Amino acid sequence: MWRTIAVVAAIGAAVLVVPARTQAQEAAPPAPAAGGDQPLGEEEAMVLNFERADIREVIHSLATALGISYTIDPRIEGQVTIRTNGKIAREDLFPLFNQILRNNGIAAVKVGDIYQILPIAEAKTRAIVPQSQAVKQSARATDSFVIEIFPVHHVSSDEMVNILQPFVTPGGDALSYPRSNLVVVTDLQSNVARLRDLVATFDTDVFHNLHARVFKMQYGDPDELANEILGLLAPYGVTPTGEGEGGVYLIPLSRLNSIVAIAFDPLLFTEIERWLRLLDIPPEESAGRQTFVYPVENAKAADLASVLNELFGGGPGGGGGGGLGRAPGAAPAGIGLFGAGGVGGGGGGRGG
């Protein structure tokens, strides 16, 4: 059967009231007014009702109920107001004790059998490295400040610190050690497990989910085709920077006349391939006249031009004196413009 201990404090005064357990006990000599000097039993409960109580009195009442010894830093000061509607079991009292301390910028650090009540910023400097199982269990039971080191494999330690910092308990810290790509966390034991889960979530192999494919160009320019494809995919919500699940990187490789596509969703490659079949086509014959330059070594350029013009329907290339003339601004002799009209020359050749 529960024995309820009610603690009432008004402006720093604490009174401990111990009612009888049963009707038969009323005839027994009354229990001494504990005055907060007796620990709470395993099956007892505590009702808290502090109204603007001195923080030192609150610490004393809770520490006594928990049966712990403590020292308190002279800088600790302030007032606390706390009311509980129900009974607080002994097993729930220590977490509540820690929470009250943290809400007031204070922490309890266990050194041997004594708890040191310190400002929370200083308490983290007393953090322990829980290596043995016994120390780990003690840290969990008292929710002490601990130091834990997280190796980071797939992202930089600086980036991981930026991710973790908003989730670190006030008074705690997360530091980067870039040389070994480690993150050093100083925090309450109860929060370290959450930080560990965050590290596991964000420290993932980015290449594990990425897919790549090389597309060989036959006729088109890789740079031009890459820009055209990105423009065509934009209305579908595909970002050209690779951001998000719908993103894609297109990297033109002019030396290999290819495009490398990198995306999270391999289905995008099917769409890229479909557009390349439509865009990577040979130039049309009507796209325009092409120019070729042939150095002449063993004959006169004018003579060869006349022969070629006759063979390809351009007619004789003599103008005036029968030689290959040159209009103002036209190419010098020896440069042929091949097309349906042959080579232009002087007054008799076909003009370009």
Q: What is the pLDDT of residues 192-231, one digit of tens each?
A: 889 999 999 899 887 777 889 999 999 999 999 999 999 8
pLDDT-derived band at 146 (thresholds 50, 70, 90) equals confident
pTM: 0.49
Residue at token pair 């991710």: 163
* pLDDT of residue 283 exceeding 80: no
pLDDT-derived band at 349 (thresholds 50, 70, 90) equals very low
pLDDT-derived band at 272 (thresholds 50, 70, 90) equals very high
CB atoms within 10 A of CB 59: 22
Task: Tell me what pLDDT residue 195 has.
Answer: 92
Where do the DSSP E strands lie in the chain?
A: 3-10, 13-17, 44-54, 69-72, 79-83, 88-89, 106-111, 114-119, 145-151, 173-177, 182-188, 211-216, 248-253, 258-263, 291-293, 335-337
Residue at token pair 């009231």: 17
Same domain, 213 and 194: no
Q: Is residue 186 part of a domain?
A: yes
Same domain, 164 and 184: yes
Task: Tell me what pLDDT residue 215 has.
Answer: 95
Spatial separation of the C-alpha atoms in residues 145 and 190, rounded to whole Å = 9
Write down which residue in 282, 302, 327 finishes a domain: 282
What's the mean pLDDT in 131-160?
79
Spatial separation of the C-alpha atoms in residues 271 and 230, rounded to whole Å = 11
* pLDDT of residue 316 exceeding 60: no
Residues 6+ apart with CB under 8 A from 325: 318, 319, 345, 346, 347, 348, 349
* Contact of 285 with 294, CB cutoff 8 Å: no
* Contact of 44 with 4, CB cutoff 8 Å: yes
Same domain, 174 and 278: no
Same domain, 182 and 271: no
Q: Is residue 260 part of a domain?
A: yes
Which tokens go with 201?
A: 């979530």
Pick the most confident of 47-56, 81-90, 137-146: 47-56
Same domain, 191 and 223: no
* pLDDT of residue 142 exceeding 70: no
* pLDDT of residue 24 exceeding 60: no
Same domain, 197 and 307: no
What's the mean pLDDT in 21-39?
41
Same domain, 245 and 261: yes
Write down which residue in 263, 282, 301 finishes a domain: 282
Q: Is residue 344 part of a domain?
A: no
Burial class (CB in 10 A: 0-12, 13-18, 19+), 50: buried
What is 177-234 written as a DSSP string? ETTTTEEEEEEEHHHHHHHHHHHHHH---GGGS-EEEEEE-SSS-HHHHHHHHHHHHG
* pLDDT of residue 141 exceeding 70: no
Q: What is the pLDDT of residues 109-131, one digit of tens each?
A: 888 888 888 888 787 777 767 66
pLDDT-derived band at 331 (thresholds 50, 70, 90) equals very low
Same domain, 172 and 271: no
Q: Within its chain, how far is the Cα of 296 from the centroid?
A: 65
CB atoms within 10 A of CB 52: 11
Q: Is residue 347 part of a domain?
A: no
Phi and psi angles of residue 205, each rounded to the nearest 5 degrees, phi first:
-75, 110
Q: Is residue 346 part of a domain?
A: no
Same domain, 242 and 198: no
Pick the most confident of 15-24, 130-139, 162-171, 285-294: 162-171
* pLDDT of residue 1 exceeding 50: no
Q: What is the mean pLDDT of the chain?
A: 74
Same domain, 101 and 137: no
* Contact of 232 with 240, CB cutoff 8 Å: no
Q: Is residue 311 part of a domain?
A: yes
How many domains are there within the chain? Answer: 4
CATH number assigned to the domain comprising residue 101 = 3.30.1370.120
Same domain, 16 and 102: yes
Residues 6+ apart with CB under 8 A from 128: 135, 139, 144, 145, 146, 147
Q: Is residue 118 part of a domain?
A: yes
Task: Tell me what pLDDT residue 182 has.
Answer: 95
Residues 6+ apart with CB under 8 A from 244: none
Of 187 and 126, more confident: 187
What's the mean pLDDT in 233-253?
74
* Contact of 79 with 41, CB cutoff 8 Å: no
Same domain, 10 and 113: yes
- Containing structural domain, residue 184: 133-205
Write down which residue in 94, 123, 152 finishes a domain: 123
pLDDT-derived band at 25 (thresholds 50, 70, 90) equals very low
Phi and psi angles of residue 75, each rounded to the nearest 5 degrees, phi first:
-80, -10
* Sign of the dihedral through C-alpha 17, 21, 23, 29: negative
Q: Is residue 343 part of a domain?
A: no
Of 57 and 10, more confident: 57
DSSP 74: T
